[in-house]
């Protein structure tokens, strides 16, 4: 983990990138929300959590498609590059010598059925496609992560099966499944390109429908008005209580292993 001074520089670079992304969204009528540790920091600390070395954002599929269209017409928008080559989060990076090492992770909300069996099938399908579309780099992270024994070999077999198909085809199939399969009456959504353990976290559409601006460092960014439901689903009911340093290092270590 970088030193305190190093983290401060990283946070400043992320903040520059977040401001550029926010401007893009405002200019093009795109809605987004801070997410994960970035959202938690905004609500609890009005800024970065000390150990965060990237920023997490969410968009609905409709807003994601707007972003994709903008970058397809202008590959480098306000000095940013839109990377859609992963089955996991889309990344936005900065085309700047100093800031090229920081990024924004973009998670996409898609519908999931309220029916228990259908929602389980959607989670299994998404997990399959994430394994199916893994790159060699991502399978290396899986190898050193928490998936051991039979679970790892199952992931690796699906990964090997995926090698028979072009990567672009695998991503197209995954996106079709995320958008169209087991959507139910469209009362709930999940982040279809999140980690395995987060795919199953259902969020009500009501929590995602509206947006508001919240303070973050020296500016303000968008969040879902239902951020309380989102944060409780990820961090529990006591998310406003800061964790101990020992818990911080354990959490960071677990997150690194999960990838």
Indicate the average pLDDT of the chain: 87
As a whole number of Å, the end-to-end CA separation of the chain is: 17
To the nearest 10 degrees (0 to 180), the angle between helices 167-180 and 116-132 is 170
Please state the separation of Cα 97 from the chain's center in Å.
Answer: 24
Write out pLDDT tens, residues 202-240: 999 999 999 999 999 999 999 999 999 999 999 999 998
pLDDT at 253: 54
CA distance 87 to 136: 12
Average pLDDT, integer, range 107-131? 96
Task: State both tokens at 40.
Answer: 């938690």
CA 80 – CA 218 distance, rounded (Å): 21
Which among 125, 201, 138, 134 is positioned nearest to 171, based on CA atoms?
134
The encoded tokens of residue 182 equal 């087991």
Q: pLDDT at residue 29 above 90?
A: yes
Taking the C-alpha atoms of residue 109 and residue 63, their distance in angstroms, rounded to an integer, is 10
Calculate the alpha carbon distances from 236 to 109, 130, 165, 241, 242 in Å.
20, 26, 40, 10, 12
CB 11 within 8 A of CB 42: no
In 3D, which of 108, 106, 103 has the Cα closest to residue 126?
A: 108
Read off the pTM.
0.88
DSSP one-letter code for 182: S
3-state class of 127 per DSSP?
helix
| Beta-sheet pairing, 55-60 with 103-112 | parallel
Q: What is the pLDDT of residues 161-217, one digit of tens each?
A: 999 999 999 999 999 999 999 999 999 999 999 988 899 899 999 999 999 999 999
What is the DSSP secondary structure assignment for residue 238, as one 8-state letter? T
Q: pLDDT grade, residue 125 (50/70/90)?
A: very high
220 Cβ partners below 8 Å, 6+ apart? 213, 214
Rounded to an integer, what distance in angstroms lies between the CA atom of residue 181 and that of residue 27?
Answer: 32
């Amino acid at each position: 983990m970088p030193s305190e001074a190093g983290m401060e520089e990283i946070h400043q670079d992320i903040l520059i990138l977040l401001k550029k992304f926010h401007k893009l969204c405002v200019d093009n009528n795109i809605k987004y929300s801070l997410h994960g540790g970035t959202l938690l920091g905004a609500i609890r600390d009005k800024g970065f959590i000390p150990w965060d070395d990237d920023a997490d954002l969410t968009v609905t599929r409709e807003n994601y498609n707007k972003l994709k269209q903008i970058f397809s017409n202008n590959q480098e928008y306000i000095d940013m590059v839109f990377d859609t080559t992963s089955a996991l989060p889309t990344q936005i990076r900065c085309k700047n010598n100093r800031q090229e090492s920081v990024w924004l992770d973009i998670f996409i909300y898609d519908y999931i059925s309220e029916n228990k069996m259908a929602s389980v099938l959607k989670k299994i399908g998404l997990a399959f496609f994430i394994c199916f579309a893994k790159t060699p780099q991502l399978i290396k992270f899986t190898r050193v992560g928490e998936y051991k024994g039979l679970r790892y070999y199952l992931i690796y077999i699906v990964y090997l099966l995926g090698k028979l198909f072009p990567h672009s085809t695998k991503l197209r199939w995954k996106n079709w499944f995320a958008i169209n399969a087991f959507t139910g009456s469209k009362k709930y959504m999940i982040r279809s390109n999140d980690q395995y353990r987060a795919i199953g976290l259902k969020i009500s559409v009501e929590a995602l429908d509206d947006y508001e601006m919240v303070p973050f460092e020296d500016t303000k960014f968008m969040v879902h008005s239902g951020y309380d439901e989102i944060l409780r689903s990820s961090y529990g009911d006591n998310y406003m209580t800061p964790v101990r340093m020992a818990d911080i290092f354990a959490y960071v270590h677990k997150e690194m292993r999960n990838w």
